[in-house]
């Protein structure tokens, strides 16, 4: 997967070379090229911003450097061009998976109070937000998005941390995790996790996921409720088939 980023602060992206994403870039599974929008300014002082027409607080990024930058790095419009903005559609895991199937993405990061609207009209395919809050620039939202989609690129996560288990758990919050020691400050790890019975472990984890989701995110629980109730009904049927439980007949 090829990713390009147009930004006034390319050095902010140095942190992308740390950890799992850094390793993926090293391995060539992912390329990340950051381009400084300022390099495309035709102004004698390389200016990239100006006062807003109509007045008001702050500065607006001018259209010329943005337009020339994007069209220099993607002249044939082969890249899906995404502008990070608080008014974009909100990123979620479904959108992350969809983006991860895109071969070439160009992110544009705005600063100041945003960009001249004509740039969006001329050169941008879609606006994307990481949530309902305001930041000083689109760089952090871009890095968040790249991090989330890189996890779905083949080979980025080891077989141990694959996203497969995640899809089984789709829509549910995580179950609690434990590692050694088995007792710490008088707190023990739940017995079932030490039992070696994988069926019981899976069952316990699923139950905790459901319980935690119900309690903390009733909105999410409502969405997956039909699936959970179906699962529950199947289990009941199995139990009845095995015999012993005569209450329900």
- C-beta closer to ligand 4H6: residue 135 or 192: 135
Strands 80-90 and 104-109, by their bridges, are parallel
Q: How many CA atoms lie within 13 A of 117 on its CB side?
A: 3
134 binding ligand 4H6? (CB under 6 A): yes
- C-beta closer to ligand 4H6: residue 133 or 168: 133
85 binding ligand 4H6? (CB under 6 A): yes
Question: Binder to ligand 4H6 among 41, 48, 100, 129 (CB under 6 A)?
Answer: 129
62 binding ligand 4H6? (CB under 6 A): no
Distance in Å, CB of 243 to ligand 4H6, minimum: 56
Strands 31-36 and 2-7, by their bridges, are parallel
Q: Which residue is nearest to ligand 4H6 (CB)?
A: 114
Query: Which phi and psi angles does 122 have, rounded to 5°?
Result: -80, -40
Which residue in the block uniquely carries the two structure tokens 């990123």?
91
For helices 139-150 and 93-100, angle between their N-to-C axes, nearest 10 degrees: 70
106 DSSP β-pair partners: 4, 81
Distance in Å, CB of 39 to ligand 4H6, minimum: 20
Question: SS3 for 178?
Answer: coil
164 binding ligand 4H6? (CB under 6 A): no
113 binding ligand 4H6? (CB under 6 A): yes
Q: Which range, of 69-77, 78-86, 193-201, 221-229, touches ligand 4H6 by CB under 6 A?
A: 78-86
* Total residues interacting with ligand 4H6, rule: CB under 6 A: 16
Question: SS3 for 124?
Answer: coil
CB 42 within 8 A of CB 15: no
10 binding ligand 4H6? (CB under 6 A): no
Q: Which range, of 9-17, 110-118, 169-177, 236-244, touches ligand 4H6 by CB under 6 A?
A: 110-118
60 DSSP β-pair partners: 50
**Residues contacting 213, CB < 8 A, separation 6+:** 171, 172, 173, 220, 221, 224
Q: Which range, of 24-32, 69-77, 106-114, 231-239, touches ligand 4H6 by CB under 6 A?
A: 106-114
Interacting residue ranges for ligand 4H6, rule: CB under 6 A: 84-86, 110, 113-114, 129-131, 133-138, 141
């Amino acid at each position: 997967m090829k990713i390009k980023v147009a930004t006034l602060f390319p050095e902010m992206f140095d942190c992308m070379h740390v950890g799992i994403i850094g390793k993926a870039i090293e391995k060539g599974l992912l390329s990340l090229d950051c381009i400084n929008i300022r390099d495309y300014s035709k102004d004698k002082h390389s200016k990239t911003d100006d006062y807003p027409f109509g007045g008001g607080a702050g500065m607006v990024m001018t259209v010329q450097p943005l337009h020339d930058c994007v069209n220099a790095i993607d002249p044939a419009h082969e890249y899906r061009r995404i502008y990070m903005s608080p008014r974009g559609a909100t990123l979620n895991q479904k959108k992350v998976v969809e983006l991860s199937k895109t071969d070439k993405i160009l992110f544009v990061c705005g600063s100041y109070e945003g960009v001249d609207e004509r740039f969006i009209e001329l050169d941008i395919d879609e606006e994307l937000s990481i949530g309902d809050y305001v930041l000083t620039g689109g760089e952090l939202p871009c890095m968040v998005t790249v991090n989330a989609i890189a996890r779905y690129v083949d080979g980025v996560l080891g077989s141990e941390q694959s996203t497969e288990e995640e899809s089984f758990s789709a829509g549910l919050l995580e179950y609690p995790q434990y590692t050694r020691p088995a007792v710490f400050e008088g707190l023990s790890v739940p017995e079932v996790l030490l039992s070696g019975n994988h069926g019981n472990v899976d069952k316990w984890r699923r139950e905790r996921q459901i319980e935690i989701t119900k309690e903390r995110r009733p909105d999410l629980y409502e969405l997956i409720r039909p699936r959970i109730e179906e699962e529950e009904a199947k289990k009941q049927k199995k139990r009845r088939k095995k015999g012993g439980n005569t209450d329900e007949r």
